[in-house]
Amino acid sequence: MQNRHPELLIPAGSLEVLKVAVLYGANAVYIGGDAFGLRAKAKNFSREEMREGIEFAHAHNVKVYVTANIYAHDADLEQAAVYFRELGELKPDAILVADPGMFDLAQQNCPDIDLHISTQANNTNYATALFWKRLGATRVVTARELSLNEIRDIRAHIPEDLEIETFIHGAMCISYSGRCLLSSYLAGRDANRGACTHPCRWKYAVMEETRPGEYMPVEENERGTYIFNSRDLCMIDHLPDLYEAGIDSFKIEGRMKTALYVATCARTYRLAMDAYERDPKEYEAKLDWYREQISDCTYRHFTTGFFYGRPDHDDQIYDSNTYVRAYTYLGLIQHKDADGYLVFEQKNKFTVGEKIEIMKPDGRNVIAEVLDIRTAEGEQMTSAPHPKQELHVKLSEEAEPFDILRRKEPEENTSES
C-alpha cells in the first residue's frame, strides 16, 4: 500500500519538546495534561501551555492528541469530567482513552473531539476495533503484541474511516500492552494511573525462606539478571512492511525523553518516510544513513518486537539496564541576543575550543567549534559545568533557533545506566 501516506506521530513531554517535534517532522504530536495520562513523571502541560502548544502545532498544520488513558477509580471521575470540558474549549484534534468510563465521560463533555482508543485497551482483533467504532471512536491503537499479519487482517475487516495507529519505535513494556501491576505491588505506585516506577528495569535476586538475607542472583545463563527488561523497538529498516500492513499512524514512544531523542526520531523517520513515498529505491539506498541517525539518540539495543511473530528470548530481553548513548545533549537554541550570540539552557557540560555538532531539522549535522561562552550577565567562561544555566555562546558555524547542540561521545563512553 505504497500510496498510503501514514502520519508520523511524535511524543512531547513539554511545550519546548512539542515545538521540536513539530519542526523536526511530525504530522501529529501526543501530549499529556496535568492529570489522567499514563506518564505522570513527564513534565506534562498546564492549560496555558496546552493552549500555546495546540496553536503552535495547528499553525504548522500538525495535529495534537491529548492522552487521558488511565484506568480511572471513582475518585477520578468528577475531575475527569471537568478536564474533558476544558479540553473541549482547547480543541485538540483527538483524546486518547482506554477506560470505557473515561470514553463515556469524554463523549458527554467534549462531543466534538475525536476519540482514539489507547493500546492499554488491548486492541488485539478486528471485532474489538469494530466495537469501538460503533461507540464512536475514530481510531484504535493496536496492542504491541500484534504481528504485521494480524494488523493486516484487522485492516481488511474494518472500514477505511476507522484508523489504525501502531507503535513502531521506542521502549517496550514487558507487561501485556502495558497493563502492569508490578509498580503497584513493589512501590505502591499505580502504573495504570500514570505513576509507573519501571520495576521491569530493576535487577532481581531470589531468597530462600529458611535463609533470610542471603540473596542469590536470578541466573539467566551468561546474560545477567535483568529478566523483565526489554530491548527498544525500531522499525526504520522495515517501512515497506509497515506501509503494506495498512497502518494510518506510525507512533514513536517517548513522552519522558529529551528534545534530542524526539528530534532524532522525528527527523530520521520523516526523511525515511518521505524518501520511501517518493521512490522505494531512494529509501533503500539511504538505509545505512537512517540506521546511523536513529542510533544517535539514547536507546537500548533494538528489536522488531512482535511484528514478525513471537520474538525469541535473545531478541526480546536486554541483558542490562544500561542505555547506549552516542551523543550528549548540550541544549536547544532558543534565540540570538543583540550581539549575535546563541542563547539556550545548558543541559550538559562543554568547553571553549571543543568541537560539537549543530543538528538541523533538514537532516544536516554541522561540525562547529565553540568560540566563546558567556553567562546571561555577560561573564566570560572557559567551560559551562552547571546544567540548566542560561548561556550565550558563539560558534564557528551558523545556527538558528530550534537547532540542537550535541557532542559525539567516544565509543568507550557510549553506555550509561
Predicted local confidence at residue 276, as pLDDT: 97
Decide: 304 and 311 in contact? Cβ < 8 Å: yes
The pLDDT tens digits of the residues spanning 116-166 come to 999 989 899 999 999 999 999 999 999 988 999 999 999 999 999 999 999
- What is the structure's pLDDT at 321? 47
Distance CA 97, CA 296 (A): 32
Identify the pLDDT of residue 213.
76
pLDDT at 410: 79
Query: What local confidence, expressed as pLDDT, does residue 211 receive?
Result: 74
| Positions of the chain with pLDDT lower than 50, given as ranges | 1, 40, 221, 223-224, 313, 317-318, 321, 416-417
Cell 505522570 belongs to: 40
The pLDDT assigned to 362 comes to 95
**Residue 123 to residues 31, 165, 166, 180: CA-CA distances in angstroms?**
21, 11, 11, 16
pLDDT of residue 275: 97
Q: Please answer whether residues 250 and 9 qualify as being in contact, where contact means their C-beta atoms are separated by less than 8 angstroms.
A: yes
Buried b (16+ CB within 10 A) or exposed e, 288-307: eebeebbbbbbbbebbbbbb
Cα–Cα distance between 269 and 261 in angstroms, integer? 12
pLDDT, tens digit (0-9, with 9 covering 90-100), for 377-396? 999 999 988 888 999 999 99
| CA–CA dist 280, 354 (Å, integer) | 39
End-to-end CA distance of the chain: 41
Question: What is the structure's pLDDT at 179?
Answer: 61
- CA 67 to chain CA centroid, Å, is 13
Q: What is the pLDDT of residue 386?
A: 80
